[in-house]
Structure 1
Amino acid sequence: MAFFLPTLPIVSLLSGGVAGGVEAAITYPMEFAKTRVQLRNERGVPSPRNPFSIVAQVIRNEGFRALYKGCSTLIVGSIGKDAVRFLCFDTIKHQFADPETGTLTPIRNMLSGMATGVVASVTCVTPTERVKTALIDDARNEKRFRNPWHAIKLIVQESGPMGLYRGLAGTTLKQAGATAFRMGTYNILKDYEKKRHIPQTILTNFANGAVAGTVTTLATQPFDVVKTRSQSAHGASTSEAIKSVLKDNGIRGFWKGTVMRLGRTIVAGGILFTTAEAVAKVLNPLFGQTSIGTMSH
Structure 2
Amino acid sequence: MVSGTNDLNTPPLVSLAAGGTAGAIEAFTSYPLEFAKTRVQLRQQKGVPTPRNPFLVVTRVYQKEGIRALYKGCAALVVGSVAKDGVRFLFFDQIKHAFADPETGTLSPLRNLAAGMTAGVVASIAAVTPTERIKTAMIDDARNDKIFRSGFHATTTIWKQHGIKGLYRGFAGTTLKQASATAFRMGTYNTLKDFEKSKKIEQSTLVNFANGSVAGVVTTLCTQPFDVIKTRSQSARGASTAEAVKSVLLDFGVRGFWKGTTLRLGRTVFSGGILFTSYEIAVKLINPFYSGITHSIGAEAS
Band the TM-score falls in, shorter-chain normalisation? over 0.9
Distance 1:194 1:5 in 2: 14
Match of 1:178 among 161, 170, 181: 181
Partner of 1:61: 64
Alignment partner, residue 244 of structure 2: 241
Q: Deviations over 1:248-291 (max 9, x none)?
A: 001111011111111110111100111110111112222339xx
CA distance in 2, matches of 1:243, 1:199: 48
Unpaired segments ≥5 residues, structure 2 = 293-302
Cα pair distance change 1:25/1:235, threshold 3 Å: same
Aligned partner of 2:91 in structure 1 is 88
2:13 alignment partner in structure 1: 10
SS at match of 1:76: helix
Distance 1:171 1:231 in 2: 9
The verdict on how the C-alpha distance between 1:139 and 1:53 changes in structure 2, with shifts beyond 3 A counting, is same
Judging changes above 3 Å, is the alpha-carbon distance between structure 1 residues 108 and 61 closer, same or farther for their aligned structure 2 residues? same
Deviation at 1:42, TM superposition (A): 5.2
**Structure 2 counterpart SS, 1:228:** helix
Instruction: Give the aligned partner of residue 263 of structure 1.
Output: 266
Q: Which whole-Å CA distance do the structure 2 matches of 1:62 and 1:242 have between them?
A: 30
* Aligned with 1:48 (options 43, 47, 50): 50
Deviation per CA, 1:35-54, whole angstroms, max 9, x where unpaired?
0000001589x563434443
Q: Which runs of 5+ in 1 are unaligned?
A: 290-297
2:195 to 192, 195, 203: 192
Equivalent position SS for 1:141: coil
CA deviation digits over 1:112-142, x for unaligned, max 9?
Answer: 0000000000100000000000000000010
Alignment partner, residue 73 of structure 2: 70
1:160 is matched with: 163
Letter in 1 for 2:199: R
Q: Partner of 2:299 in structure 1?
A: none
Corresponding residue SS for 1:104: coil
Moved more, 49-58 or 78-87: 49-58
Amino acid at match of 2:285: V
Q: Distance in 2 between matches of 1:24 and 1:3?
A: 23
**Aligned pair in 2 of structure 1 residues 100, 271: CA closer, same or farther (>3 Å)?**
closer
TM-score normalised by L of structure 2: 0.91
State the alpha-carbon separation in 2 of the partners of residues 89 and 138 from structure 1: 35
Contact 1:209–1:273 at 8 Å: present in 2 too? yes
The answer to whether the Cα contact below 8 Å between 1:4 and 1:103 also exists between their aligned partners in 2 is no
Counterpart-to-counterpart distance in 1, 2:167 and 2:231: 13
Assess, with a 3 A threshold, how the Cα gap between structure 1 residues 198 and 103 changes in structure 2: closer, same or farther: closer
Q: In the alignment, residue 261 of structure 1 is paired with which amino acid?
A: R
Matched, 1:150 2:153: yes
- How far the C-alpha of 1:103 sits from its partner, in A, is 4.0
CA-to-partner distance for each residue in 1:147-182, whole Å, 9 max, x for gaps?
111111111111111100011001000010010001
TM-score by length of 1: 0.92
Q: Give the counterpart letter for 1:171 in structure 2.
A: T
> CA shift at 1:72, angstroms?
0.6
Residues 3 and 101 of structure 1 are in contact (CA less than 8 Å); yes or no, is this contact kept in structure 2? no
Residues 92-131 of structure 1 mapped to structure 2, 5 A cutoff: 92-98=95-101, 102-131=105-134
Aligned-residue Cα RMSD (Å) equals 1.8
Distance 2:276 2:206 in 1: 11
Pick from 200, 209, 214 the counterpart of residue 212 of structure 2.
209
Q: Distance in 2 between matches of 1:132 and 1:234?
A: 13
Distance 1:3 1:225, change over 3 A: closer
Amino acid at match of 1:184: G
In structure 1, distance between residues paired with 2:34 and 2:92: 24
Answer with 236-245 or 46-55: which moved more.
46-55
Conservation of the 8 A alpha-carbon contact between 1:3 and 1:104: no
> Could you tell me which amino acid in structure 2 is paired with residue 244 of structure 1?
S
Identity of aligned residues (%): 64
**Partner AA of 2:38 in structure 1:** T
Matched-pair contact (CA < 8 Å) for 1:245–1:254: yes
